[in-house]
Structure formats: C-alpha cells, structure tokens
Amino acid sequence: MNNYAKALISGKCSKCGTEVIRVYLKIDGHKHILLWCPNCKDFIIPPKLAENRALKRKLIRVRRRLLEKVIVA
C-alpha cells in the first residue's frame, strides 16, 4: 500500500503522524482529492498524478496560498 492510500484511510500523515487535511482540486476538468500535511508542509498525492505537469504547476500556487493561511492564522 502506498503513502497516499495509508494517509487517506487513517487520516494521518505517513511520515510524521499529524492529521492531514483534504484538499479538493479541479485539474483538467477532473476533481482530485489531495492530502495536505500541515506539519510537513507538503502534499501527499496519488501515484497516478505524480507525473502530471499541470498538477505540479497548480500545486506550487496552492502550496503558497496554504502556507500564507497557516502563517496568518
């Protein structure tokens, strides 16, 4: 079982054990569920989406917004 599946089932990050936040993104007309770990400050993405260039570009912008919200809050 991969890291994404473990985190999706348990609701916790496989690296640090912190509770993950579900982030819904619409990419290329499809809705995807990504997991955000606030402790690692990184996304846990499904293996099939790992090579998707459009996803990587969008993740850079979304990561920046999430980090701004964490710093402000």
26-53 tens-digit pLDDT: 877 888 888 888 888 888 888 888 788 8
pLDDT at position 45: 85
Name every residue whose Cβ is closer than 8 Å to that of residue 39 and which is 6 or more positions away in sequence: 13, 16, 18
The pTM of the whole model exceeds 0.75: no
First to last CA, the chain: 34
- Helix (H) / strand (E) containing 59: helix 53-72
d(CA 26, CA 46): 14
Q: pLDDT at residue 73 above 60?
A: no
pLDDT at position 19: 92
- Domain hosting residue 34, numbered range: 3-72
Q: How many domains does the chain divide into?
A: 1
